């Protein structure tokens, strides 16, 4: 897939948002950030304009931005910022927010939303839907070093699962806390055991996990699947 991807540094673009103008690296500094975009295919945008609407006022995204607002406390507890992006102007974003909050009770859109009416930012952040040839339903988790740590790309017909976004974020935070010497297995959730990286020797593992670890007994007898409890 062309454009920036895992491990790449997000370009330090200056953006206009519903809060204020800033450079992306200033916003990302010293924290993790969930950056998410709102899709708008050319055909769908044309149908909206025909009915006197702008690209902001779309059904799935209204539910998603509301959910982001409702989950905001979960991100705050983790020290993680939210940053939305939609291909309309600031006034359109502000007009849309009351609908977002009304549809999702308890939701407050306190995070900034980037304006990109000329669609100049979306391609630089690799948030393009290659099928519909327009802005995509994409999500990047960006680390304090301004590098992309994880990306989701959904078709316009599928809304995000917020619990999975949080689960994946928790996995990244856990791995970073342990300097990537652990990984999280399938369906992992916080407080569940993790696996030890194959790059870590048994001797190092004993020092890193003084509480002990278990090595799965497998037919190959290679001893590569080691499980530990961490916090």
Q: Where are the alpha helices (DSSP H) in 58-212?
A: 59-70, 72-77, 90-103, 121-124, 162-177, 202-208
Cα–Cα distance for residue pair 206/53, rounded to 1 Å: 61
Q: β-pairing, 80-86 with 194-196?
A: unpaired
Catalytic residue among 61, 72, 114, 165: 61
Four-CA torsion 134, 11, 110, 160, nearest 10 degrees: 40
Cα–Cα distance for residue pair 190/163, rounded to 1 Å: 12
- Is 61 considered catalytic here? yes
Rg, the chain, Cα only: 20
Structure tokens belonging to residue 207: 């020092």
Three-class HEC string of 2-17: CCCCCCCECCCCEEEE
User: H or E segment at 150?
Assistant: strand 148-154
Catalytic positions, please? 61
């Amino acid at each position: 897939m062309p454009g920036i991807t895992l491990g790449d540094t997000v370009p330090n673009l200056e953006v206009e948002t519903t809060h204020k103008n800033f450079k992306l690296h200033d916003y990302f500094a010293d924290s993790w950030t969930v950056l998410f975009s709102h899709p708008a295919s050319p055909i769908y945008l044309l149908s909206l304009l025909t009915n006197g609407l702008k690209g902001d006022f779309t059904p799935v995204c209204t539910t998603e931005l509301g959910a982001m607002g409702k989950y905001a406390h979960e991100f705050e507890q983790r020290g993680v910022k939210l940053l939305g992006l939609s291909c309309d102007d600031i006034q359109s974003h502000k007009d849309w927010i009351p609908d977002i909050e009304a549809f999702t009770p308890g939701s407050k859109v306190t995070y900034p939303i980037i304006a990109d009416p000329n669609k100049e930012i979306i391609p630089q952040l690799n948030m393009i839907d290659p099928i519909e040839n327009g802005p995509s339903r994409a999500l990047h988790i960006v680390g304090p070093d301004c590098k992309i740590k994880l990306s989701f790309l959904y078709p316009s017909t599928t809304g995000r699962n917020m619990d999975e976004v949080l689960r994946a974020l928790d996995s990244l935070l856990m791995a970073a806390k342990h300097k990537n010497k652990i990984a999280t297995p399938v369906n992992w959730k916080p407080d569940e055991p993790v696996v030890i990286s194959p790059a870590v020797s048994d001797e190092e593992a004993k020092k890193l996990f003084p509480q002990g670890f278990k090595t799965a007994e497998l037919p190959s007898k290679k001893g590569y699947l080691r499980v530990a409890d961490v916090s």
